[in-house]
C-alpha cells in the first residue's frame, strides 16, 4: 500500500478584516463586523452572508463575556485538539454579537457545562496572531 500525501501549498494574506480580528485576539480583544442588516457578525466576515455585499473594514468591539448557545463534550481529547484534558467544543455568542463562534470551553467537567452559561475568554499568555490566541472560554 502506498501512502499519499495531499497538500495545498499556497498562502493567503489575511486582509483588513480577518487581519484585524486576529490582531485583536493577540491583544486580548474580540471584534465583529456589522452586517448589511445591522447584525454584528463574529468572527467578522468580509462579505455579508445573505447579500454578498462587502461589509467594509469597520470593526465592532464585542465581549469580553459570552454565552454558550450549543455544545458537545470531548471526553478523550486527541493530540491535535486545543486542550489536552476533557473540554467542550461550543458555539459561544460574545456579548454584543448576534452570531456565535466555535471555540473550546474549559469547564473542567461535563457537569459544569450548560446551554446558556456565561463564559469569559482566556487568551494565551504568549500570543502569535492566530485564532488559537483565544485558548478557550471559561465559566464565569
Residue 21: φ, ψ to 5°: -60, -50
Q: Does a structural domain hold residue 2?
A: no
Establish if 4 belongs to a structural domain. Answer: no
Cα–Cα distance list, 118 to 28, 38, 65, 101 (Å): 18, 24, 7, 14
The stretch 20-28 carries a mean pLDDT of 96
Q: Is residue 58 part of a domain?
A: yes
Would you say residue 80 lies in a domain?
yes
Residue 1: per-residue pLDDT: 78
Give the per-residue pLDDT at 49. 92
Contact predicate 26/20, CB 8 Å:
no
| Mean predicted lDDT score pLDDT of the chain | 95
In a domain, 10, yes or no: no
Range of the domain at 94: 15-139
Q: What is the pLDDT at residue 11? A: 76
pLDDT tens, position by position, 40-68: 999 999 999 999 999 999 999 999 999 99
Number of domains making up the chain: 1
More confident residue, 103 or 2: 103
Task: Check residue 102 and give its pLDDT.
Answer: 97
Residue 9: inside a domain: no
**In the predicted model, is pLDDT for residue 10 greater than 90?**
no
pTM equals: 0.88
pLDDT of residue 126: 96
Residue 8 burial (CB count, 10 A): 5
In a domain, 95, yes or no: yes
Asked if residue 6 is part of any domain, the answer here is no
Return the SS3 of 105: strand
> Can you say whether the dihedral through the CA atoms of 25, 58, 66, 45 is positive or negative?
negative
Query: Where do the H-state alpha helices sit in the chain?
Result: 15-26
Amino acid at each position: 500500500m502506498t501512502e499519499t500525501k495531499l497538500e495545498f501549498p499556497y498562502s493567503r494574506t489575511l486582509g483588513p478584516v480577518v487581519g484585524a480580528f486576529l490582531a485583536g485576539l493577540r491583544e486580548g480583544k474580540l471584534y465583529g463586523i456589522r452586517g448589511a442588516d445591522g447584525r454584528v457578525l463574529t468572527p467578522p466576515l468580509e462579505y455579508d452572508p445573505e447579500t454578498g455585499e462587502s461589509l467594509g473594514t469597520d470593526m465592532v468591539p464585542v465581549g469580553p463575556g459570552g454565552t454558550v448557545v450549543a455544545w458537545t463534550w470531548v471526553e478523550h481529547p486527541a493530540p491535535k485538539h486545543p486542550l489536552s484534558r476533557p473540554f467542550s467544543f461550543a458555539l459561544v455568542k460574545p456579548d454584543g454579537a448576534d452570531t456565535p463562534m466555535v471555540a473550546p470551553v474549559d469547564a473542567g467537567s461535563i457537569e459544569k457545562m450548560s446551554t446558556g452559561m456565561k463564559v469569559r475568554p482566556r487568551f494565551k499568555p504568549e500570543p502569535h496572531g492566530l485564532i488559537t490566541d483565544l485558548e478557550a472560554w471559561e465559566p464565569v
